[in-house]
Amino acid sequence: MAQDNFSKIISHAKEYGFIFQSSDIYDGLSAVYDYGQTGVELKNNIKQYWWDAMVKMQESIVGLDSAIFMHPKVWKASGHVDAFNDPLIDNKDSKKRYRADELIEEQLDKIQKKVDKEINKARKRFGDDFDEEKFVSTHPRVVKYLGKIEKLRSRFIEALKNEDLDELKQIILDEEIADPVSGSRNWTDVRQFNLMFDTKLGSVDGAKIYLRPETAQGIFVNYLNVQKTGRLNLPFGIAQIGKAFRNEIVARQFIFRMREFEQMEMQYFVQPGTEKEWFPYWRDKRMNWHKALGFDDALFRLHEHDKLAHYASAAYDIEFDFPFGFKELEGIHSRTNFDLGRHQDMSGKKIQYYDNERGESYVPYVVETSIGLDRTFLMVLSAAYTEEKLEKETRIVMKIPAPLAPYKVAVLPLVKKDGLPEIAGKIMDELKYDFNCYYEEKDSIGRRYRRQDAIGTPYCITVDHQSLDDNTVTIRERDSMKQERVPAEQIFDIVNQKVNMKTLLKQI
């Protein structure tokens, strides 16, 4: 997917009421966004897809909705006060601020692109006879580039593991990495920057509290409440959807990296030792959730973490091929008993599970699945956005999976008179209890179809003069543009078969 597609997707999202910049009339607030009339429907449907898959379909998982504000000790215990940092660096000439680790990652990507270019060139030259493995291991330039990548990557990982900020700066200098905006190499030292927003509770001199940077801690501190009142036995999970806040150093790329965003997280509590089985189970299950959406499987891949977060013993990302390349969409983490153990120590409350079978008490281990709702939204927009060349025009169609589409059906009387709006109104009244419907009388039918394509409505129902005689309508399918004449009583079944969430859930 090309970068220029990305600008088109961003403009399209605004033009059709999916996403607006926050406080637009005041020139916007950086990295904060609002969901418009179409966007809120898509967002709610993504939430429902996740909730149904993770709670409704799972006997061993229950839901929770915990508060954004939490006791400040929570963030001390979780390690976020001391360790939730990103390494930042400023360019002295351009005064622009960057994440040092991202500058180095971009440098690695740049070298990798040179390798890919050589491979593509050779593939074209040799055609069917091309032996990629041999080419990569023998071609002098490619061997040189790959050697450079390996050396740079291991130096980089070592610096991250040791939190060696001087070494990160030295890598930037040695690699002659320039400010992408000004081309200057005049860098400050690298500093750690804590990503948590803070505020005061109550009066002006009230205690400092944080806006939660992840929803997970709300689940950990409620572990005992839920386990006891729900009489739950291990293994069991707690799931929640909610806002999280991070004061990101660099927040570019639209809704990919925001300062206020929403997470959908599930913590699965297990017997110590069994996390080794549950970790791959949830990693694969989550991948199936993504693939059930019906987009090209090649758009998704797994990436194992080189540097683990302070709480994790193993971690994978599910990455998606966004218009700006493969990037993290969801994280699957084996969090050991780190969080519950730390809360037990800091709170002085015993957070243990009595295992009848083992005849002992212990702090459960945790496997976590954590996905950004806004990133999932961007994934759906990116994968769905399609420009199709027709005979006389190009149509833009959002091929959003039907169960997630903002509107499931548009009801369109051909003209605004002759009793057609009345029939269309009756059809709306029938369908609106089950589906989110769109009603429109204005403009030619062709223009109305295009507008529905642009927001991804799977079906358009057109009521015309024949409908007055025999109560049939034309039903048009979004992707194929095929039109069929059907009795009005059949509309529900046709639409329901395609837009029901069951069609997705059954595939996971």
| Residues 96, 85: Cα–Cα separation, whole Å | 19
What ranges make up the beta strands (E) of 305-413?
314-322, 325-336, 353-355, 360-362, 365-372, 385-389, 394-398, 409-413
DSSP-derived 3-state class of residue 440: coil
Q: Which stretch binds ligand GAP (CB under 6 A): 22-30, 122-130, 259-267, 319-327?
A: 259-267
Helical H runs in 432-500? Answer: 445-455, 465-470, 491-499
Say whether residue 239 binds ligand GAP (CB under 6 A): no
C-alpha 317/C-alpha 327 separation (Å) is 9
Q: In angstroms, what is the minimal distance from the CB of 208 to ligand GAP?
A: 21
172 versus 249: smaller Cβ distance to ligand GAP: 249
- Could you say whether residue 42 binds ligand GAP (CB under 6 A)? no
66 binds ligand GAP (CB under 6 A): no
Site string for ligand GAP, 351-390 (x = CB under 6 A): -----------------x-xxx-xx---------------
CB-nearest residue to ligand GAP: 372
- Cβ proximity to ligand GAP: between 244 and 410 the closer is 244
Binding mask 166-185 for ligand GAP (x = CB under 6 A): --------------------
- The C-alpha atoms of residue 426 and residue 248 are separated, in whole angstroms, by 50
Residue 311 per-residue DSSP state: T
265 lies in the binding site for ligand GAP (CB under 6 A) = yes
* Gap between the Cα atoms of 8 and 167, Å rounded: 39
What minimum distance in Å lies between the beta carbon of 330 and ligand GAP?
5
Q: Provide, rounded to whole angstroms, the least separation between the CB of residue 315 and ligand GAP.
A: 8
Chain centroid to CA 391: 36
d(CA 227, CA 267): 13
Q: Is 201 exposed, middle or buried (0-12, 13-18, 19+ CB in 10 A)?
A: exposed
Query: Least Å distance between CB 276 and ligand GAP?
Result: 20
- Least distance CB 152 / ligand GAP (angstroms): 24
Shortest separation between residue 313's beta carbon and ligand GAP, angstroms: 14
Taking CB under 6 A as the rule, does residue 164 contact ligand GAP? Answer: no
DSSP code of 275? Answer: H
245: β partners: 260
Q: Exposure string (b/e) for 171-184, b if CB count within 10 Å is 16 or more? A: bbeebebebeeeee
Of the pair 339, 464, the CB lying nearest ligand GAP is at 339
Residue 500 buriedness (CB in 10 A; 0-12 / 13-18 / 19+)? middle
What SS3 state is found at 466?
A: helix
Applying CB under 6 A, which of residues 52, 93, 102, 248 lies at the interface with ligand GAP? 248
**What is the number of residues in the chain?**
508
Q: Would you say 434 and 403 are in contact if contact means Cβ atoms under 8 Å apart?
A: no
Contact between 246 and ligand GAP per CB under 6 A: yes
> Do 328 and 304 form a contact (C-beta atoms < 8 A)?
no
Tokens standing for residue 7: 């600008």
Choosing from 257, 290, 448, 476, the residue that interacts with ligand GAP (CB under 6 A) is: 257
In this structure, which amino acid lies at residue 260?
E
- Shortest distance (Å) from residue 371 CB to ligand GAP: 5
User: In terms of CB distance, is 331 or 421 closer to ligand GAP?
Assistant: 331
Stretch of 258-266, 384-392, 393-401, 430-438 contacting ligand GAP, by CB under 6 A: 258-266
Q: How many residues bind ligand GAP (CB under 6 A)?
A: 19
Query: Which residue among 214, 275, 339, 464 contacts ligand GAP (CB under 6 A)?
Result: 214
CB-nearer residue toward ligand GAP: 19 or 402? 19
DSSP assignment, residue 187? Answer: B
Alpha helix (H) residue ranges in 52-183: 72-77, 80-83, 100-126, 132-138, 140-161, 165-174
Residue with tokens 């965003």: 261
When the beta carbons of 41 and 368 are compared against ligand GAP, the nearer one is 368
Tell me how far, at minimum, the Cβ of 58 lies from ligand GAP, in Å: 19
Among 9, 42, 216, 234, binds ligand GAP (CB under 6 A): 216
Distance of closest approach, residue 281 Cβ to ligand GAP, in angstroms:
18
**Contacts of ligand GAP in 313-332 (CB under 6 A):** 328-331
Instruction: Pick the closer one to ligand GAP by CB: 176 or 304.
Output: 304
Enumerate binding residues for ligand GAP (CB under 6 A): 214, 216, 246, 248, 257-258, 261, 263, 265, 328-331, 368, 370-372, 374-375
